[in-house]
């Protein structure tokens, strides 16, 4: 099958391609996957591809999503990558040992590992360097030496550094829920993020880190924020806020949905459909798109985070939408 001029990985893509171009690109991809596709169809596809820059961006996006799945079709690569992820998702005494075990896979194993770096399973380089990590759709509940409980959401990774003077978690990626333990030595408890440091003051709280900011929601006690610019704020139980390296937003009422994920649930309380699908997409590989005509439909309910098909069936039952499956890994929600 003819491809675009160069391989394009997910990180090369624009944040959002337009919906109609993505829809047509996926349809063309399905057509060209057919072994009976003829030269006229390929010529028509090329004409469409060259017509607008948006078409080429959409095609690159479809290719990138497809690549994540086609890499898994080779049994040798899949087995090697699975072993690598197993190494990544366990706590290991030495990161060099972890690297050595991955390198020891050898041959196809190395190719599988490198290939999976360009898939969403999980952010593997971050994962194998971290003390604890999860892949797509995986959630973990761990208990630390001081009886602190930490839940890791999908695609998350943390490092744990306990010393004589402090207890420190470093959130490398993703989202965590923390319920601090009562330390006999009364050491302060910190969470470092890319945009600043949090100090827990006898608390239960969630921290979600993205490229743009960090979202903190506090459910018990208080959490002190100090961002990289030195700005300080105290967030109390029942409040949430966002902060960046330079600024801390005013606190708002905490969203109960922010901790529902620890029970495997996406909680929607009058949530726009497009926002629910974006949250669902964090737990699943592939693409799930929403037609702009139904994007703002309001959704209320509890949905299983790790069962996309069941969630989509529930939405199709309750809303005036239909689920369109153009490819096994490409799904869109459209008006019924």
**The pair of three-digit structure tokens given for residue 210, joined into one six-digit string:** 């993205």
Residue 165 scores a pLDDT above 70: yes
CA-closest candidate to residue 64, choices 20, 25, 21, 8: 8
Instruction: Give yes or no for a contact between 126 and 173, defined as CB atoms under 8 angstroms apart.
Output: yes
Residue 277 has pLDDT above 80, yes or no: yes
Q: Which of 126-130, 214-218, 293-297, 321-325 has the lowest mean pLDDT?
A: 126-130
Give me the CATH topology for the region 264-335.
Phage tail protein beta-alpha-beta fold (3.55.50)
- Let me know: does 121 contact 138? Beta carbons within 8 Å: no
Residues facing 323 on adjacent strands: 333
Quick check: helix, strand or coil at residue 233? Answer: strand
Domain boundaries, the chain: 10-72, 74-129, 140-255, 264-335
The pLDDT of residue 122: 42
CA 333 to each of CA 104, 114, 279, 319, 336: distance values in angstroms, whole numbers, following the listed order: 44, 33, 15, 10, 9
Instruction: With H, G, I as helix, E, B as strand and everything else as coil, classify residue 206.
Output: strand
pLDDT per position as a tens digit, 178-224: 999 999 899 999 999 999 999 999 899 999 999 899 999 999 999 99
Average pLDDT over residues 302-323: 95
Instruction: Note the pLDDT tens digit of each residue in 63-122.
Output: 888 876 665 444 444 444 444 444 444 444 444 444 444 444 444 343 443 333 334 444
Cα dihedral across residues 296, 300, 304, 309: positive or negative: negative
pLDDT reported for residue 230: 96
Q: How far is CA 186 from the centre of its chain?
A: 34
Question: Is residue 11 pLDDT above 80, yes or no?
Answer: no
Yes or no: is domain 140-255 CATH 2.60.120.1440? yes
Q: CB neighbours of 103 closer than 8 A, spacing ≥ 6?
A: 110
Average pLDDT in the chain: 81
Cα separation, 42 vs 267, in Å, equals: 44
The β-bridge partners of 133 are: 157
């Amino acid at each position: 099958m003819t491809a675009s001029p160069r391989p394009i990985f997910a990180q090369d893509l624009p944040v959002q391609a337009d919906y109609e171009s993505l829809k047509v690109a996926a349809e063309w991809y399905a057509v060209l996957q057919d072994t009976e596709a003829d030269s006229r169809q390929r010529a028509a596809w090329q004409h469409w591809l060259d017509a607008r820059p948006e078409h080429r961006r959409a095609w690159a996006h479809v290719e990138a999503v497809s690549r994540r799945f086609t890499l898994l079709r080779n049994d040798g690569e899949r087995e090697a990558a699975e072993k690598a992820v197993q190494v990544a998702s366990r706590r290991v005494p030495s990161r060099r040992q972890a690297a050595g075990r991955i390198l020891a896979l050898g041959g196809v194993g190395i190719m599988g590992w490198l290939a999976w770096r360009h898939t969403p399973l999980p952010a593997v380089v971050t994962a194998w360097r971290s003390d604890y990590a999860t892949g797509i759709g995986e959630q973990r509940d761990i208990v630390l030496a001081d009886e602190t409980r930490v839940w890791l959401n999908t695609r998350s990774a943390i490092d744990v550094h306990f010393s004589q003077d402090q207890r420190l978690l470093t959130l490398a990626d993703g989202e965590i829920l923390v319920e601090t333990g009562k330390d006999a030595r009364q050491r302060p408890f910190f969470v470092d993020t890319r945009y600043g440091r949090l100090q827990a003051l006898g608390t239960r709280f969630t921290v979600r880190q993205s490229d743009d900011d960090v979202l903190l929601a506090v459910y018990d006690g208080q959490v002190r924020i100090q961002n990289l610019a030195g700005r300080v704020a105290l967030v109390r139980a029942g409040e949430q806020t966002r902060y960046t390296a330079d600024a801390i937003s005013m606190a708002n009422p905490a969203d109960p949905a922010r901790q529902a994920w620890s029970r495997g649930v996406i909680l929607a309380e009058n949530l726009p459909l497009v926002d629910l699908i974006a949250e669902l997409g964090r737990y699943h590989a592939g693409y799930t798109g929403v037609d702009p005509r139904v994007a703002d439909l309001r959704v209320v309910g509890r949905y299983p985070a790790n069962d996309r098909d069941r969630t989509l069936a529930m939405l199709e039952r309750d809303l005036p939408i239909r689920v369109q499956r153009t490819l096994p890994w490409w799904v869109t929600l459209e008006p019924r």
